[in-house]
Amino acid sequence: MRPFTYVRAESVPDALNGAHTADTLFLAGGTELLNWARIGIESPRRLVDIGRLPGLDEIVSHGDGLRIGALARLNDVAQDPRVETSYPVLAQAILKAASAQLRNLATIGGNPVQRTRCPYFRSHDPVACNKREPGSGCAALHGANERLAIFGWTEGCVAVQPSDPAVALACLDAVIITEHVEGGRRIPAAEFHTLPADDPAAHNVLRPGELITGIELGAPAPKSAYVKVRERQSYEFALVSAAAAVEVQDGLIARARLALGSVAPRPWRLYEAEQALVGLRPGSPDLLDAVTSGFADSRPLSSNAYKIPLARNTALRALELALEA
* pLDDT above 80 for 35: no
Q: Is 252:280 a contact under the CB 8 Å cutoff?
A: yes
Which candidate, 244, 242, 245, 277, places its Cα nearest to that of 261?
242
Q: Average pLDDT in the 266-288 region?
A: 98
Distance CA 97, CA 189 (A): 17
How does DSSP assign 69-82, residue by residue?
ETT-BHHHHHT-HH
Q: Average pLDDT in the 303-318 region?
A: 98
* pLDDT above 80 for 227: yes
The confidence score (pLDDT) of residue 226 equals: 98
Q: Average pLDDT in the 142-166 region?
A: 98
Q: Is 290:315 a contact under the CB 8 Å cutoff?
A: no
Helix axes 164-171, 88-95, angle to 10 degrees: 170
The confidence score (pLDDT) of residue 31 equals: 80
Amino acid found at 221: A
Q: Which residues contact 258 (CB under 8 A, 6 or more apart)?
A: 171, 242, 243, 244, 269, 270, 273, 274, 277, 291, 294, 315, 318, 319
CATH number listed for the domain at residues 224-324: 3.30.390.50
Distance CA 12, CA 2 (A): 27
The confidence score (pLDDT) of residue 81 equals: 98
The angle formed by the CA atoms of residues 156, 38 and 24, to the nearest 5 degrees, is 75
Distance CA 50, CA 110 (A): 11
Q: What is the CA radius of gyration of the chain?
A: 19
Instruction: Report the percent of the chain where pLDDT is more than 90.
Output: 86
Query: How do residues 237-276 score in pLDDT, each as one tens digit?
Result: 999 999 999 999 999 999 999 999 999 999 999 999 999 9
How does DSSP assign 183-225, residue by residue?
---EEEGGGSBPPTTT-TT-SBSPPTT-EEEEEEE-S---SEE
Q: Average pLDDT in the 217-242 region?
A: 94
CA separation (Å) from 42 to 46, 170, 321? 11, 27, 40
* pLDDT above 80 for 18: no
Every domain of the chain and the residues it spans: 224-324
The confidence score (pLDDT) of residue 2 equals: 74
Q: Which secondary structure element, helix H or strand E, spans residue 155, and what is its range?
A: none
Average pLDDT over the chain reads: 95
Cβ neighbours of 183 (radius 10 Å): 8
pLDDT band at 1 (very low <50, low <70, confident <90, very high): low
* pLDDT above 80 for 235: no
pLDDT band at 29 (very low <50, low <70, confident <90, very high): confident
Query: How do residues 42-91 score in pLDDT, each as one tens digit?
Result: 888 888 999 999 999 999 999 999 999 999 999 999 999 999 999 999 99
pLDDT band at 310 (very low <50, low <70, confident <90, very high): very high
